[in-house]
Structure 1
């Protein structure tokens, strides 16, 4: 007799406590948006995915001021054991250089606004990604453990500004809660879970009983001597913004920031001009 791998009995949402500092919730924990800059948009699933279970993510908003886009991956580290205040700004490379984290920037053609993308791990330990309309999935990376729980990583990065978890089979949110408007504030939403507990979206439940070992993980934060561009994380940083002096951008990304925003993404100081510098 076959085994049913449907996710219908138990919905999946974003972890309500551990998220990037620029992430805000939408109407519930299935819609998340990065409010500032191009970074600090890390999200984790609220539970491990079951074997071959698909996580469906729709890109609902973009920000064309930036290069790069959605990063997806997995971790064998329970997100509830992490300190939200110590999360790094990027999944790649801040998390991927650590044991138990795997993530990658998905191909640009997949990360367009409106795209509905599935993410899962097959029996071979490969992370697969597929748009709903595509006939075949692509392999993002392999080498994932097959005998450990794996939580999904969603990094709302660069051009990708907002995402939503979708139940593709029903065409609606896989929301296990009933969301109602908070009478105290119309700008907030209260999510009542099946267990009867509640929390306000945009805030975090009390973590007084939760342990944290993130300080011992020593998450590597971005440093000024990082050799790669802080925006695309691909090209060498060889351009300095004047007058603030931040030199953590490649020429292509620096030109785009200068033309479209005219302020440094790190300190928000107005950019007067760009200066080529030797790669760090």
Structure 2
């Protein structure tokens, strides 16, 4: 692993940028994970075993910026334990941490210099809840849940050094997904993008991916950094025109997002119609679904 230089994450985590308004990929760090945590979905989902309430620490793959709002979704909860998710920030790079990680963020890390962490109310951490947390220019950390009013979590975050997001999948919270991040600057909004590599669905042939990539262009990563056209926008990036019509009949993807969606999911993002075999014209299909009643 490339050692962090204090100004950025590992080289592999910072080399990709897909546009002027791209913050770069944001995933969970692959090595710095709690003993009871399993990562999946391209390191964007973290799940803690149900047999314990602790050992659920995860960190961001790269430093996050001041006022960069990090979005999480609680995928699963379990009411066997008290307490729920803890979120925070740290000046210590994940790659510098000895393993195994501490069993809990509070008090094992919160009592150490360079760590700021606070519990999120249990009412905000039910399955399906979406959370956003960030640090302000004044060093105050805030959280919102499902677009509710922001809550102050703590103050005194040191902004003089790079900061990594730190999340403890604790107590009732069993599984979370990292939904990305955004940072607003004047009239522009900067956003994180998908990671450069995606796991391929077992139903999608690698040759198919190559064919679709050739048809749609070689760029797999996109970022919503352009204005939406007057036509229907791509349902993934919401920033480019939907030019690709899938075999199910849905015209819902731009040429940059289509290879990514087919590689990662292998289905239409609207109706979940499976995309497998090639058809005339160079695209992919499966037998079209029969309308109800026929």
Contact 1:70 1:105 survives alignment (8 Å): yes
Aligned to 1:26: 40
2:32 match: secondary structure:
coil
Contact 1:166 1:174 survives alignment (8 Å): no
Write the distance in 2 (CA, Å) between the matches of 1:25 and 1:151: 18
Backbone CA RMSD of aligned residues:
2.2
**Per residue, is there more strand in 1 or in 2?**
2
1:47 match: secondary structure:
strand
Contact 1:91 1:103 survives alignment (8 Å): yes
Bigger-Rg structure (1/2): 2
Aligned to 1:148: 161
Match of 2:178 among 165, 170, 180: 165
User: Aligned runs of 1:106-185 on 2, under 5 Å?
Assistant: 106-134=120-148, 136-167=149-180, 174-181=193-200
Counting matched residue pairs gives 174
Write the distance in 2 (CA, Å) between the matches of 1:9 and 1:73: 20
Q: Deviations over 1:82-125 (max 9, x none)?
A: 1122x111000010111111111111221111111011000110
- Cα gap change, 1:22 to 1:120, in 2 (>3 Å): same
Match of 2:56 among 35, 41, 60: 41
Contact 2:42 2:195 survives alignment (8 Å): no
Aligned to 1:251: none
Aligned to 1:93: 107
Task: List structure 1 segments (4+ residues) > 2 angstroms apart after TM superposition.
Answer: 6-9, 180-183
Match of 1:71 among 66, 86, 92: 86
Displacement of 1:146: 2.1
- Cα gap change, 1:9 to 1:48, in 2 (>3 Å): closer
Contact 2:68 2:181 survives alignment (8 Å): no
Contact 2:60 2:164 survives alignment (8 Å): yes
Contact 1:165 1:174 survives alignment (8 Å): no
Write the distance in 1 (CA, Å) between the matches of 2:181 and 2:61: 19
**Are 1:50 and 2:65 counterparts?**
yes
1:133 match: secondary structure:
coil
Q: TM-score, normalised by structure 1?
A: 0.58
- Cα gap change, 1:162 to 1:174, in 2 (>3 Å): farther
Write the distance in 1 (CA, Å) between the matches of 2:55 and 2:181: 27
